[in-house]
Structure 1
Amino acid sequence: MDTNTIIAVVILVVGITVGILMGLPVAVAMGLPSTVAIVILLDWEGAALTSAQQIFAASNSFALLAIPFFILAGGLMNTGGIASRLIDLALVVAGRLPAPLAQTTVVANAMFGSVSGASVASAAAVGTVLSPRMRKEGYDPAFSATVNAASSPSGMLIPPSNTFIVYSLVAGGGASIGALFMAGVGPGILWALICIVMVALYARKRPELRATGPRPTLKQAVIVFLRAIPALLMIVVVIGGILSGFFTATESAVIAVLYSLALGLVQRTLSVKDLPKVLLEATKVTGIIMLLIGVSGILGYVLAFARIPQLVTQGLLGFTDNTAIILIIIMIVLLLAGTVMDPTPAILIFTPIFLPVVVALGVSPVHFGAMMVFNMCLGNISPPIGNNLFVAARVGNVRIESVFKGIWPYFWALCIGLLIVAFVPALSMWLPETLGLIRP
């Protein structure tokens, strides 16, 4: 590297780190150092032109249209009261387990998260409905909020998932959205199962939580299931359409919006007056994500110009050619990054750096995508920045410090789950390979 390139890389690394630690918006913390680095690498005129080109190039993707539509579909589902029907179904499924309302929280988060595609929305919706009920039944409010926070990221893994769409964009042709969606099913179910086990272990120490809920009659179970079918059908329509090739992931997102809108209006759980608010919220979230993606184009240009991915690959492979050790190093870096960063910017920053390394070791980009998203989901529940912790604490009406304290057993158990995802590729690869979604 020449002197200018070294200076640019130092400014990039230090600038992003300091900006994030100072609490600047991630787009600013990522974009400002990247722009300064381009100015150093090029002249002012070339830097301005290149920055504009990279922002446009990063955002100019048909596949990205799926993100705002899935966000809008999730908002329509949330506002339309779909959460309550899925929670009723979750109570039927998990009501016979120890600490039934806590187990219902886990199952409901997996269901609603997969419908909405957003773990924060899931934590808010499920927590709003179940937290008062759990408090009334004598559950410790801090425990209730902790279970809600810990289980909500499972929806980021179970398709459809905006996080996988972002990863697919950065990873390129080696990881299709359909393959990544299917790769997330196993890890997503594993996440929920770990939370179920942790709740059961907690209940063993507290006799008052060991009692299971009343067994619903067959008639009650059938009624609850029938009421939840319309919401569950959205997943079938979206994923089934993608897998059958009937429509693309982007087109499926549009179908999801139309389906959610029609469902809410027909069932009269959504009114026309609700639409402006839902559209505004979806626009805000989309704007944030698209700004991050655009700015990541500048970052990607600097990384490519300075040959950072190649240097990292050479450095790690020069240190060791043991796949397990390199994967552990990558997971540790991502865990540390997840404590101060949201999943989307972390994926945008680290995928171009680490993906060439694992591909050189023979790891599938689809498997690495499942591992990376699971890794970054842990960031959503890791203090001090994890968004799900703050949302769960707010809707549960408890102090954030109590959630910080209670989350650690779940965090370490889910770290074991991360190791399983990383070192048992079949968990994430079996389904996409069986369905023929992995490109040779």
Structure 2
Amino acid sequence: MEMTSVTLVVAFFVLLLLNVPISISIGVATLLAMVMSMDIAPATITIAQRMAGGLNSFALLAIPFFVLSGLIMGRGGIAKRLIECAMALIGALPGGLALVNVVSCMLFGAISGSAVAATSAIGSFMLPEMKKAGYEPNFSAALTAAASTTGMLIPPSNILIVYAIASGGVSIAALFMAGYIPGIMVGLALMLVCFVYAKMKGYPLSPRLPLKVVVEKTVAALPSLFLIFLVIGGIVGGVFTATEAGAIAVVYSLLLAVVFYKEVEPKTLPDILLKAAETTAIVMLLIAASTAMSWLLSFENIPQTLSNALLELSDNPLLILLLINLLLIVVGAFLDMTPAVLIFTPIFLPVAVELGMSELHFGIMLVLNLSIGLCSPPVGAVLFITCAIAKTKLENIIRPLIPLYIAMFVVLMLVTYVSWFSEALPRALGF
């Protein structure tokens, strides 16, 4: 077991350092580690079977649907209308543009289910506007990167679907409901940082818009916001499953973008479909490779060994949960969310359950923790997008990210140690 573990870890990190795509790194490292336990022929057959089996899940069909609907929404003028709505409602507050950035990322992230899409769509519009208003470009870029991660918690969220599969039976609907309060808490914490930052810098207040304009902008955004109620309401009400909700989201987003808003021309749909297929293929390859690695870890009894080691470190559950969070924060800085969830759920979930934490509560803690990794160097995908939009370097936004990290970490601790934040809505709705 020891040689297998060493081979797996060393091969994985060497491949990453060589700039090999993460899904390929996981797959090759797993195959090399398997060869330490069995011959090459059975190792190859086993990894192929495990990768295929990892994708044999009806729930995974929801991911390509939500990816496609998110892309259609991203090109359908949705982001602009959400930003204008947020600007009309809260733009006149201190730090108004920064607050609008956070709220817009929360809303668009919830609609698209993608932090990368939220970063690109909201950042492309808000970063130039914030620069014109005198905001420090590096702070604006850091804020957009942090705020875009709220879409990982506020449903519909693809990563919550992945966790539901990895955990072996947690209700997707319950996870969706559980993500609302923590996701909003992260957004409010980031808004508090923005408020303090604006006060310290002395930014002028934006003019308050007339009530008529506020109503107009809000009404214009309602069709976009209705997608959230349509999808989540249907799932919670038992009208359709999460997978069927994804298909409905595609149909609704098409009608909205092509027919109602008329921002997407039919001739551009093939490009959108191709991009959706490309994104889906990347995600599915990650899931397949991560499933194979997760099986190998289980086969070698590594999760049980690590679980026992953690439980032997201390009999204080608060300390063990803190240690798990710190380990996951380090993991999230180097590993994409999808493989991290698939690999570390079977390792840490038994420990959390042993400490009295529910599978639902642990899932929200895990996703919130790894969301911090999305905006953490060196691998954080949203950082590179915001740096490209803001035309700045990665090292320049580390310092303004620190207070945002602190705000997110405080929320993480609250969610970790107070189960009510994760479980209140699911319990109220009977899950």
Above 0.5 in TM-score?
yes
Q: Deviations over 1:108-154 (max 9, x none)?
A: 00010100101111011111112222222222222221221121111
Structure 2 equivalent of residue 33 of structure 1: 29
Q: Which runs of 5+ in 1 are unaligned?
A: none
Letter in 2 for 1:307: N
Corresponding residue to 1:42 among 38, 41, 50 = 38
Corresponding residue to 1:352 among 326, 342, 346 = 346
- How do 1:356-395 and structure 2 match up within 5 A? 356-395=350-389
Q: Taking structure 1 as reference, are residues 367 and 21 closer, same or farther at Cα in structure 2, changes over 3 Å only? A: farther
Corresponding residue to 1:53 among 41, 49, 52 = 49
Structure 1 equivalent of residue 313 of structure 2: 319
Structure 2 equivalent of residue 198 of structure 1: 193
Contact 1:238–1:256 (CA under 8 A) maintained in structure 2: yes
Contact 2:64–2:277 (CA under 8 A) maintained in structure 1: yes
Contact 2:116–2:148 (CA under 8 A) maintained in structure 1: yes
Q: Deviations over 1:151-173 (max 9, x none)?
A: 11111110000110111111111
1:429 aligns with 2:423: yes
Q: Deviations over 1:335-387 (max 9, x none)?
A: 11111122112112111111111112221111111001010010011122211
Give the TM-score normalised by structure 1.
0.95
Q: Secondary structure of 1:184's match? A: helix
1:144 aligns with 2:140: yes
Q: Secondary structure of 1:302's match? A: helix
**Take 1:311 and 1:218, find their aligned partners in 2: how far apart are those partners?**
62
Letter in 2 for 1:402: N
**Take 1:318 and 1:139, find their aligned partners in 2: how far apart are those partners?**
49
Structure 2 equivalent of residue 65 of structure 1: 61
Shift of residue 244, structure 1, vs aligned partner: 0.5
Contact 2:186–2:407 (CA under 8 A) maintained in structure 1: no
Q: Secondary structure of 1:96's match? A: coil
- How do 1:280-359 and structure 2 match up within 5 A? 280-359=274-353
Contact 1:312–1:357 (CA under 8 A) maintained in structure 2: no
Contact 2:297–2:303 (CA under 8 A) maintained in structure 1: yes
Q: Secondary structure of 1:153's match? A: helix
**Take 1:306 and 1:274, find their aligned partners in 2: how far apart are those partners?**
49
Q: Deviations over 1:37-75 (max 9, x none)?
A: 222222333222211210111000000000111010000
1:115 aligns with 2:111: yes
**Take 1:286 and 1:227, find their aligned partners in 2: how far apart are those partners?**
31
Q: Secondary structure of 1:362's match? A: coil
Contact 1:72–1:279 (CA under 8 A) maintained in structure 2: yes
Shift of residue 418, structure 1, vs aligned partner: 0.9
Q: Secondary structure of 2:168's match? A: helix
Q: Secondary structure of 2:156's match? A: coil
- How do 1:78-227 and structure 2 match up within 5 A? 78-173=74-169, 175-207=170-202, 209=203, 211-227=204-220
RMSD across aligned positions (CA): 1.3
Shift of residue 88, structure 1, vs aligned partner: 0.7
Shift of residue 17, structure 1, vs aligned partner: 3.0
Structure 2 equivalent of residue 258 of structure 1: 251
Corresponding residue to 1:249 among 242, 251, 254 = 242
Shift of residue 334, structure 1, vs aligned partner: 0.7
- How do 1:387-406 and structure 2 match up within 5 A? 387-406=381-400
Q: Secondary structure of 1:159's match? A: coil
Letter in 2 for 1:316: L
**Take 2:371 and 2:54, find their aligned partners in 1: how far apart are those partners?**
24
Letter in 2 for 1:250: T
Q: Which runs of 5+ in 2 are unaligned?
A: none
**Take 1:18 and 1:183, find their aligned partners in 2: how far apart are those partners?**
37
Shift of residue 405, structure 1, vs aligned partner: 2.5
Q: Deviations over 1:74-108 (max 9, x none)?
A: 00000111100000111122213212111110110
Number of matched pairs: 430
Shift of residue 306, structure 1, vs aligned partner: 0.8
Contact 1:95–1:104 (CA under 8 A) maintained in structure 2: yes
Contact 1:343–1:376 (CA under 8 A) maintained in structure 2: yes
Q: Secondary structure of 1:41's match? A: coil
Letter in 1 for 2:371: C
**Take 1:185 and 1:20, find their aligned partners in 2: how far apart are those partners?**
34
**Take 2:412 and 2:246, find their aligned partners in 1: how far apart are those partners?**
29
Letter in 1 for 2:73: M
Contact 1:378–1:411 (CA under 8 A) maintained in structure 2: yes
Q: Deviations over 1:267-314 (max 9, x none)?
A: 211111221221121111111110011112221221111111111121
Shift of residue 212, structure 1, vs aligned partner: 2.6
Give the TM-score normalised by structure 2.
0.97
**Take 2:64 and 2:112, find their aligned partners in 1: how far apart are those partners?**
12
Contact 1:113–1:122 (CA under 8 A) maintained in structure 2: yes
**Take 1:339 and 1:18, find their aligned partners in 2: how far apart are those partners?**
16
Q: Taking structure 1 as reference, are residues 334 and 290 closer, same or farther at Cα in structure 2, changes over 3 Å only? A: same
Contact 2:317–2:355 (CA under 8 A) maintained in structure 1: yes
Corresponding residue to 1:7 among 3, 21, 38 = 3
Shift of residue 33, structure 1, vs aligned partner: 1.7
**Take 1:358 and 1:126, find their aligned partners in 2: how far apart are those partners?**
36
Bigger shift: residues 250-259 or 42-51? 42-51
Contact 1:389–1:404 (CA under 8 A) maintained in structure 2: no
Q: Secondary structure of 1:339's match? A: helix
Structure 1 equivalent of residue 273 of structure 2: 279
Q: Secondary structure of 1:158's match? A: coil
**Take 1:19 and 1:327, find their aligned partners in 2: how far apart are those partners?**
30
